[in-house]
Amino acid sequence: MPELPEAETIARGLDLVLPGRTVRSVEVLRPDVVRGPPDEFAGAVSGRRIRDVGRRGKNIVLSLDLVRVVVNLGMTGRVLTSAGAHPDARSTHPAVVFHLEDGGRATYDDVRRFGMLSALGPRAWRRWTRSLGPEPLGRTFTAARLGEILAASRAPIRSLLLDQRRIAGVGNIYAVEALWAARIDPRTPARLLDPARVARLHRALRRVLRSAIAAGGTTLRNYRDASGEEGRFGRALRAYGRSGEPCVRCRAPVERIVFGGRSAFRCPRCQPGLPAR
């Protein structure tokens, strides 16, 4: 599933081509990817001008006049733009088509249809965005703020990093990579991290996310940016998906562990677990 760097990369690409254009009409081809009745979604968006395209957590946000369209890409969602009225050749599974007044179109395409589009007015937007945690690359996300979040939780640190109510945008790939960089076992209870390790994790998380954005995200299977290019951060992964391979830091074999129903990866030498009590 696309995480913060992938959503940020796509949003930046769309922000180069969509602002200033007006949505003439909306065609909902797959009602299951739209929250609420399709005609209400189409009516809320049609006739409105796109002001900008941004991101909140793992979601792409199209800001229009008096309404925001929140796009959660699910596993295989894509937003494709084309200058003409004909469907984009890359769109094999179109779900929602935004017809623009200048004759172009923007298409939400989704093979597996696990994504979701929502049209939110001002009050619904405030309620939704407040339900998410702080942005890890935001100015207010300091090491002290991270420490406050961790101190209130007994959950394993990897699980907490994935909780969008605590911190918005981090998924399994970048949680694993940040924990490797910070030399912290993914299973460590969050509240047991001392200030020094909290500070290391804060630096590592922000550094990993920024590096991934600079590389256009990580493509493992389906992810492509707004222009159809693969993300390049996969070649920089140090722990995620490298089970059995030597740690690039100490050469010990990276191991795969499973908890919370999901795989994590760690170096047993660089990321030692807590001693048994």
d(CA 236, CA 205): 14
Pairwise CA distance, residues 176 & 185, whole Å:
9
* C-alpha triplet 167, 171, 174: angle, nearest 5°: 100
Which pLDDT value is given to residue 274? 67
Going from the C-alpha of 42 to that of each of 36, 39, 119, 236, the distances in angstroms are: 10, 5, 9, 41
Condensed to tens digits (0 to 9), the pLDDT of residues 265-277 reads 999 999 998 654 4
Domains of the chain: 4-130 (3.20.190.10), 143-266 (1.10.8.50)
Segment 37-78, tens digit of pLDDT:
999 999 999 999 999 999 999 999 999 999 999 999 999 999
DSSP notation for 210-242:
HHHHHTT-B-SSS---TTSPPPBGGGG-SSTT-
pLDDT per residue as tens digits for the range 135-151: 999 999 999 999 999 99
Q: Which residues pair with 72 in a beta bridge?
A: 116
Active site residues: 2-3, 58, 262
Q: With contact defined as beta carbons under 8 Å apart, do 82 and 88 qualify?
A: yes
